[in-house]
Chain A
Amino acid sequence: MTTQGTTEGLTARSMVEHISAQGVTHMVTLPDSETNFMYDNMTESGMEVVPIAREGEAIAIAAGLWIANQKPAVMIQNSGLFESGDALRGLGIGIDLPLVMFIGYRGYTRHGDTPDSAAQFLEPFLHTWGTPYWIIETDAELDRIALAFKKAEETSKPVAVLIGAEYVSV
């Protein structure tokens, strides 16, 4: 991911503050280089980080946490969301799970010419599954996180927040 086209940056600390403000108890995630800063901030914020081996586990673990009356969220890359298709079907949409999924928008270019198929298929995929989403590229857009959580609760369905920028700092 690149930050080209953005005037300000997206900081991991502000992002985690906005997620914490929603009362998230657990972040089920596959850590990668893009969410490295997030990882430290999440741990410090008191959220329990649940690292997974493969993204297909994420929605299933989140469903379990929800059954235990916790408030989980998921943070994975777009490539990992494709990996999670059957879980999104059966254990997200299929059980009416109110869940916010933070999705790293790998390959997002903002100008149309998109060599990375992980980016090409992300928005069409979400539309096909009827999963609403918001895109965040700068700190100024972080209030969209609250909108996503509201939508997930109102509809009792999974929704996505696409992270369309690299974090510029912690």
Chain B
Amino acid sequence: MIEYQDVATAIQRERGEAVVVTAMTQSKFWKEASDRPELDIPTNNSMGKVSSIALGIALGAPDRKVIALDGDGSLIMNMGSLVTVGNKSPKNFVHVVYDNGVYAITGGQPIAGAGVINWPAIAMGSGYKAAYSFEDTEEMATEMPRIMAEDGPILIRIQVKPVITTNLGVIQTWESNAVMPRQMRSVKVELAKS
């Protein structure tokens, strides 16, 4: 099993100018690793929609790499989006699925299909160009540069060690809920420059 921090480090190293759209537990670890916060969109207020938001950006900005850091629970909620992505087949689309087998943010209940879902098979069966699976940190870190340079859409399934939220959920404030819309506008401004 791989630690969230190690995934963030490996992706950050290769992200370049990529827009990174994150879901759930990934958002926290990505924020700590990212050196281009103006290109990051955390989407915790919209469960299941990371793949769709990222697809929209990828289609609208075809020269910009877009990386979706999805959760397994989130993606089973929007499984059809894999087919929508495969159909449009954007070259600039990288879909990372954090497979922790649980809904960590709500206290660690197992997701439907935990340990059974074959993410690379589902991605390939939906029209993705390539799909990878990692359970070992070293291997992931070694392979990431090559994979991130490939044409998409690609899916990278990473078996991560669950980090269960113990205070059951996110403490919501007006400020915390203003982050996603603000970051969307930040990315919009950044993309308008190129």
Q: Report the nearest B residue to A56, measured CB to CB.
A: B78
Q: Would A50 and B88 count as touching, CB distance under 8 A? A: yes
Q: How far is the CA of A60 from the CA of B64 in the complex (A)?
A: 19
Q: How far is the CA of A139 from the CA of B77 in the complex (A)?
A: 39
Q: Would B188 and A69 count as touching, CB distance under 8 A? A: yes
Which chain A residues (60-111) contact chain B, with CB distance < 8 Å? 60-70, 72, 86-87, 90-91, 94-96
Which chain A residues (13-33) contact chain B, with CB distance < 8 Å? 25-26, 28
Q: How far is the CA of A66 from the CA of B61 in the complex (A)?
A: 10
Also in contact, A61 and B55, with CB within 8 A (given A51-B87, A53-B83, A90-B46): yes
Q: Pick out which of these stretches binds chain A: B8-16, B107-115, B179-187.
A: B179-187
For A87, the chain B residues whose CB sits under 8 A away are 46, 49
For A65, the chain B residues whose CB sits under 8 A away are 56-57, 59-60
Tell me if B137 is interfacial: C-beta within 8 Å of chain A.
no
Q: Report the nearest A residue to B83, measured CB to CB.
A: A53
Tell me if A57 is interfacial: C-beta within 8 Å of chain B.
yes
Q: How many Å from the CB of B126 to the closest CB on chain A?
A: 9
Q: Which of B47, B64, B81 contacts A57 (CB 8 A)?
A: B81
B76-114: CB near A (< 8 Å → 1, else 0) gives: 001011011001100000000000000000000000000
Q: How many Å from the CB of A103 to the closest CB on chain B?
A: 19
Also in contact, A64 and B191, with CB within 8 A (given A53-B84, A57-B80, A95-B180): no
Q: How many Å from the CB of A59 to the closest CB on chain B?
A: 8
Q: Would A68 and B191 count as touching, CB distance under 8 A? A: yes
Q: How far is the CA of A94 from the CA of B179 in the complex (A)?
A: 11
Also in contact, A60 and B83, with CB within 8 A (given A65-B59, A67-B184, A90-B46): no
Tell me if B165 is interfacial: C-beta within 8 Å of chain A.
no
Which chain B residues (143-194) contact chain A, with CB distance < 8 Å? 180-181, 184, 187-188, 191-192
Tell me if A48 is interfacial: C-beta within 8 Å of chain B.
yes
Q: Would A26 and B181 count as touching, CB distance under 8 A? A: no
Q: Would B45 and A61 count as touching, CB distance under 8 A? A: no
Q: Would B191 and A52 count as touching, CB distance under 8 A? A: no
Q: Would A86 and B60 count as touching, CB distance under 8 A? A: no
B50-78: CB near A (< 8 Å → 1, else 0) gives: 00111111111100100000000000001
Q: Which residues of B does A touch, CB under 8 Å? A: 41, 45-49, 52-61, 64, 78, 80-81, 83-84, 87-88, 180-181, 184, 187-188, 191-192
Q: Which residues of A does B touch, CB under 8 Å? A: 25-26, 28, 48, 50-54, 56-57, 60-70, 72, 86-87, 90-91, 94-96
